[in-house]
Amino acid sequence: MTGAALEPLERLFRGQREAFARESYPTLAVRRDRLARLGAIVRDREADFVAAIDADFGHRSSHETRLAELYIVGSGIKHAIRTLPRWMQRERVATPLQLKPGRAYLMAQPLGVAGIVSPWNYPVQLALAPAIGALAAGCRALIKPSEATPATADLLARAIGERYAPDELAVVTGGADVGAAFTRLPFDHLFFTGSTAVGREVAKAAAANLTPVTLELGGKSPAIVDDSADLARLAPRLVVGKLLNAGQTCIAPDYAIVTPARVDAFVAAVVDAVRALYPDPARNPDYTTIVNDRHFARLDGLVADARAKGARIVTVPADARPDPTTRRYPPTLVVGARDGMAIMEEEIFGPLLPVETCANVDEAIAAVRRRPRPLAFYVFADDKPVRERILRETIAGGVTVNDTLWHFAHEELPFGGVGASGIGAYHGEASFLTFSHRKSVFVQPRYAAASLLHPPYGATFEKVLALLKRL
C-alpha cells in the first residue's frame, strides 16, 4: 500500500492511541456501556447479519448463524457485563514474613490499543468475541475482518460506526494488502484468528514492534473412537460437529480414529446420522454451502487425491455429487485414510471426514502424538480409565469428551491452541486477561524493617541478613 492509502488506517490507530492516553483506566460503568452497545448491535441487527452472511456464503443456514454467531457473542457479552466487577478486583497476594508489614496485590491494567484480525468462516463471532475481551479490559480496538466475506465486513463497519466513536472501536475493511499493513501497526496486543501459515506471517509482522500476540490457528483436530463408545449415541454428536457450517469450522473433527473391527459399523452409524440430520444436503436449508469456488475446488482435490491413493469414498446420499454451481458439497467419508494423503496433511475446512484405523488405544494415541498439536480434540469412550489415559497422554488446545464443540461454548473455559494450533487463549475471564497487564504492586508502610538493610553496611546489616537466611 502507498503512504496515501495507509493514511486513514494510521489516522484511526493514532486516534485510538491518543484516546487511550486520555482514559487509560476506564471505569466499570464505561466498560459496561461499551459492552452493552456491542450487545445491542448483535440483538438489533440479527436479520441483517443473517442476510449478509447468507449472501457471502451463497447459502448459510440462518439457524447456524443465529446460534453459532449471534447467540455465542450475545451470551459472551452478558457474561462479561455480569462478571466484570470480579475481574476488575485487585487480587491480594500473600506477603512473606521478611517483607512484612508491606502488602502486595495484582492490578489488571488495560494494555492500550488492540488489533483484531478475523477470518471468514464465522465472520461475526470471530470478529466480535475478541472485542468483548478488549472492551471489558478497558482497551480500544480496531477490527480487520476477512475480505472473503465482504457483505458481512461492510455491515460490521456500518453497525459499529453507528454505535461507537472511531477512537473507541472501529472496523477496517479491505484486501490482503490492508491486512498486511494492519498487522504492522504497533498495537499493544494483536489478536489473529486464521490459518497456521498466515499466523506465522502475522507473528513476524508483530515481532518487528515487539507486539504481543494471540494466535488462534487450527490444525487437524482428531476424534478417537474407543471400542467402549456407543456408536449410535456418538454418531449424531460427531456429525453435528463435523457438518456445522458444512465443516468450515476450525474446531470441527478433522479425522476419526477407529479400530479395524468397528470401521464398517462406525461408517454405517455416521451415514445413518447424516441421513437423519440432513435428509437432502443438496437442497436442505439447514446445510451450508462452501464459501467460494477456490475452497470448493480444494475439497475436490483432497477427495481425488485420497481416492487415487486407495481410500474408499462414501457420500451421503450414496449417489451425491458435489455441485460447483451451488457450491453444495455432500457429506463425505474417506475410509482408509492414512499418512501421505493430502487430506491427512492439511486442515480440511469442509464436510469431509477421513476415517483412520488403529489397532488399539496405544496406536491411536501414537497417531495423534506424531502430528502437530491440535486446537481441539474429541474423545469418545465410555471406559473411564481409557478416557483418562487418552487425556493424560495427548496434548491439545481443548477437549470435549463424548461430544464435539461444547468446550468452546463454555465461557469459563479458556479457548486457545498449543504449539502449531496457536498461542494464548480467550473467552470469559481469559479474554479479559489477554488484553490486560497484571501489574505487580508492593506497598511499603511508613515504618519498614527494610531500612535495616540500607547502607552504610555494618554489624546491623550482617545480623539482619543472617536472620533472613534462617527464615
Q: Based on C-alpha coordinates, what's the Rg of the chain?
A: 26
Sign of CA dihedral 308, 309, 311, 312: positive
Maximum CA extent, the chain:
92
Q: What is the DSSP string of 385-413?
A: HHHHHHHHH---SEEEESSSSHHHH-TTS
Q: What is the DSSP string of 275-292?
A: HHH-S-TTT-TTSPPPSS
Exposure class string for 350-383: b at 16+ Cβ within 10 A, else e: bbbbbbbbbeebeebbebbeebebbbbbbbbbee
**Which amino acid does the sequence have at 141?**
A
Query: Which three cell numbers, joined as nine digits, stand for 288?
Result: 451450508
C-alpha atoms less than 13 angstroms from C-alpha of 106 in its C-beta half-sphere: 10
Considering the candidates 250, 356, 411, 429, report the single residue annotated as catalytic.
250
Which of 250, 253, 248 has the alpha carbon at shortest distance from 333? 253
Considering the candidates 64, 69, 216, 429, report the single residue annotated as catalytic.
216
Query: Which three cell numbers, joined as nine digits, stand for 247?
Result: 465443516
Query: Which three cell numbers, joined as nine digits, stand for 199?
Result: 499466523
Active site annotation includes 429: no
Active site annotation includes 388: no
Element (H, E) at 103: strand 103-110
Alpha helices in 314-425 (DSSP H): 361-369, 384-393, 406-409
Give catalytic residues, as residue numbers.
216, 250
